[in-house]
Amino acid sequence: MEIYDIIAQAVGIGAMAMNCLSFQQKKQKGVLAFQLCGSVLFCINYYMLGAMSGAILNIVGILRALVFMNKEKLRAEHPAWSAAFVAAYLGGYVLVFSVFGKEPTVKNFLVELLPVVGMTLTTLSFRYKGTREVRIFGLINSPLWLSYNILTFSIGAICSEVLNFVSILIGILRHDVKKEKK
């Protein structure tokens, strides 16, 4: 493994730490702040690995986190934002094949669609006021990204999704199940 690949994987591990910590936050702004940092690092990680779908979607993820962090000012609850982000995800999907030259095979169409669906679900989760919904949507989002990361061989991202899934479950137990018992 070359130094470039080692650096790419190290950046992915840093992103993993940010995303895992996001699910342990009590407030949505905390979740979003950590996910913003994770998106920046994953954007770099995927770009360095040549996984352009992951890189593009994380650029949109950065913008999404900024909008939802300032949701009162920017009226992020308006459905137009969600529609704009989903359109951006789909636009990124098209760019992977048209601009970045990914071979248009059935396998590639399906592989590149996994993170698009995952990002769409995450965006929908941010429309809710509480962190419980973010965690529940994460239970679906995480396996989609895990599959993509395995297929694109991003070690940091693979570890991230495994840890994210465990972290989501812990967050549900700590904040949601405990809260229901009270």
- How confident is the model over 120-171, as pLDDT tens digits? 988 888 777 777 888 888 888 889 999 999 998 898 899 988 988 888 899 8
| Both structure tokens of 9 | 């994987």
Question: Taking the model in full, what pTM does it have?
Answer: 0.81
pLDDT of residue 2: 92
> Tens of pLDDT along 80-131?
998 999 999 999 999 999 999 999 999 999 999 999 999 998 888 877 777 7
Question: Residues 6 or more apart from 99 whose CB is under 8 A from it?
Answer: none
% residues pLDDT > 90 (the chain):
52
Position 65 confidence tier, pLDDT thresholds 50, 70, 90:
confident
- Distance between CA atoms of residues 22 and 122, nearest Å: 13
Please state the domain extents for the chain: 3-181
pLDDT of residue 131: 79
Which run of H or E residues covers position 108? helix 106-126
Do 143 and 165 contact (CB within 8 A), yes or no?
Answer: yes
Q: What are phi and psi of 67, to 5 degrees?
A: -65, -50
- Distance between CA atoms of residues 165 and 140, nearest Å: 9
